[in-house]
Structure 1
């Protein structure tokens, strides 16, 4: 099946009132090209970084409205991104070379290829450019991450293993109690959830589930029989089950939050202490604080406490900017983000704010 697309030479999008960051001018990246041809493997973040020193200001230079930000399937391999410097503020446009026509130059000397609107035929399977390389976050898009305290007791649990083994591997059988709906065939296996603590009060604000594998229901009953289909760690008695969710694609344009965000990094997935690029972290600002998938947050290393030797006063040094994260999954009180860049090691407790 084919998709018929009718488009002109340039794609211009209209900025919704209130979407701009403010009076701050857009800052182009050093040696920003006049045009760039999109290739397979590019991401929206990569492309915007070629033109902007701050890639998260992507919606402004493209003049995207809110709906296009939520569904930015606009760019495909082979498209040509053109930097328009003719106005008061730089703008990006898409140029697609279809058909034939003359060529020349605009007032700024930038080559212009004149084309008439034409019909372009494309195969539907051609994939648009994603926001980021999804390999780093795919495991987190449809797996259990945050569970409620009451859910812990209600979820099915593994009560026995094949041949009484201590741990199970791929292809082994597990026996579980509590599976009431035998129409659900695919299950996630997770380790007993650990609390995520508020950095100041040290009280739990959410419970994080550690994904350890997947299983398929083979025979219903009490106990039910499941076969382990994949694993990241050994699976054993006491591990819990959650129904598998369908994949949730991540296709949001990188952008700052609409409101002010002031949070902290609570944890890094799988518990390492030093955090760097491509690590996944949890922060204590979620949907209740206005955080949305696609939001970019600046990371600041929290200033150390020092003592003024003369006055004996205890002072906290200023926070220092150390990197950025991109939010990809949001719960009420918690968000998960991917570290996009880091000038030095990032730690649990560091501050996250608007970029």
Structure 2
């Protein structure tokens, strides 16, 4: 089976008028070209040319609209480094598109591909796949309004995979389809609030999946289709959804970001490269999927000679980068793409 895939890269527009060319730092012994292979990510490919791989939209000269809805490259494409105008840019090499001055003139074109051939993603899907379909954070109001499992077939407290359960709170228009089962987890507090106890939401502990079979009056019959943990009476339900972030291009927030790491996924106190962290900023603060944020270690108190001396701190030190892939109203989840030292609670989150 074959399908047409529109594959175009618009390279004529300037990514950011305020960005200077000398801000893009090429790697030493940078190659003149690179052939894309299956398994590559845009982050990986950029890392072959740039010291800051997440800034590949700039070297491709993409504008903000293209960042929001980018068009991709594919295995077999040849990426060329072009320095002809004095600043680095990447271009696609196509047959018959070389012109006299060595520049490449690109235009939209239709390509026919086999279905199994996919566009190169921003980051490896396997890294964050488990976190795209599961409920991660719920507010107090969402928790109270969520449908719940209220009874089992035989009156037991626990319901197992393959068994039926009965739920209340599901609306008529939602009485068919697939659901995810979750339980309220640990509270997430804002350390930057006055007392450090402002509630941002609760982690949602994912328990399994269910399918709605029928609804009689106010009770919906569910079939438990899979379980990750024990499912109990009073566990909550949320409609099953999946968020695809592989088409989001990394870019820096265009506002002054000052946040903190408030938790590492899984309850661990210390994270590292490819771990998942939770930030105390979300949609209400302007964060969006694709934002790249810098991580900073908090300053350490200077040792005093006299206990009465003023307490002063060492400067905050940059520690790594993270890619935001799930955003909620008050918090966001980000993948740590590189870390020089362990990521700890209360580490600072800023613009890169």
Tell me the TM-score range normalised by the shorter chain.
0.7 to 0.9
1:207 to 176, 194, 202: 202
1:240 to 236, 239, 262: 236
**Contact 2:7 2:71 survives alignment (8 Å):** no
How far off is 1:2 after superposition?
A: 4.3
- Say whether residues 1:294 and 2:280 are aligned partners: no
Structure 1 distance, partners of 2:101, 2:46, is 25
SS of residue paired to 2:66: helix
SS of residue paired to 2:338: strand
1:224 — aligned with what? 220
CA deviations over 1:254-294 (Å, ceiling 9, x no partner): 11111111100111222111111222211012223222211
- Superposition CA RMSD, Å: 2.9
Change (3 A) 1:23 1:286: farther
CA deviations over 1:117-155 (Å, ceiling 9, x no partner): 997641263321111112222233343223231221221
SS of residue paired to 1:53: coil
Structure 2 distance, partners of 1:131, 1:55, is 11
Change (3 A) 1:307 1:314: farther
Change (3 A) 1:167 1:117: closer
1:127 to 113, 118, 123: 118
How far off is 1:93 after superposition?
A: 0.6
Change (3 A) 1:15 1:128: same
1:337 — aligned with what? 334
2:300 — aligned with what? 304
- Say whether residues 1:34 and 2:32 are aligned partners: yes
SS of residue paired to 2:201: strand
Change (3 A) 1:52 1:216: same
Change (3 A) 1:162 1:274: farther
SS of residue paired to 2:182: strand
- Say whether residues 1:73 and 2:71 are aligned partners: yes
Change (3 A) 1:124 1:268: same
Moved more, 24-33 or 270-279: 24-33
2:127 to 115, 121, 136: 136
**Contact 2:10 2:62 survives alignment (8 Å):** no
Change (3 A) 1:292 1:24: farther
The size of the alignment, in residue pairs, is 344
SS of residue paired to 1:314: coil
**Contact 1:4 1:119 survives alignment (8 Å):** no
2:4 — aligned with what? 3
Q: Which runs of 4+ in 1 moved over 4 A?
A: 4-7, 101-106, 114-121
User: Where do residues 179-198 of structure 1 align in structure 2 (5 Å cutoff)?
Assistant: 179-181=170-172, 182-198=174-190
User: Where do residues 246-261 of structure 1 align in structure 2 (5 Å cutoff)?
Assistant: 246-261=242-257
Change (3 A) 1:71 1:78: same
Moved more, 115-124 or 185-194: 115-124
User: Where do residues 54-203 of structure 1 align in structure 2 (5 Å cutoff)?
Assistant: 54-96=52-94, 98=95, 121-123=111-113, 125=115, 126-181=117-172, 182-200=174-192, 201-203=196-198
**Contact 1:16 1:64 survives alignment (8 Å):** yes
**Contact 1:11 1:95 survives alignment (8 Å):** no
How far off is 1:180 after superposition?
A: 2.5
2:14 — aligned with what? 15
After TM superposition, the score normalised by the length of structure 2 is 0.87
Instruction: Give 5+ residue unaligned stretches, structure 2.
Output: none
Structure 2 distance, partners of 1:118, 1:66, is 19
Moved more, 307-316 or 180-189: 307-316
1:109 — aligned with what? none
After TM superposition, the score normalised by the length of structure 1 is 0.86
Change (3 A) 1:237 1:331: same
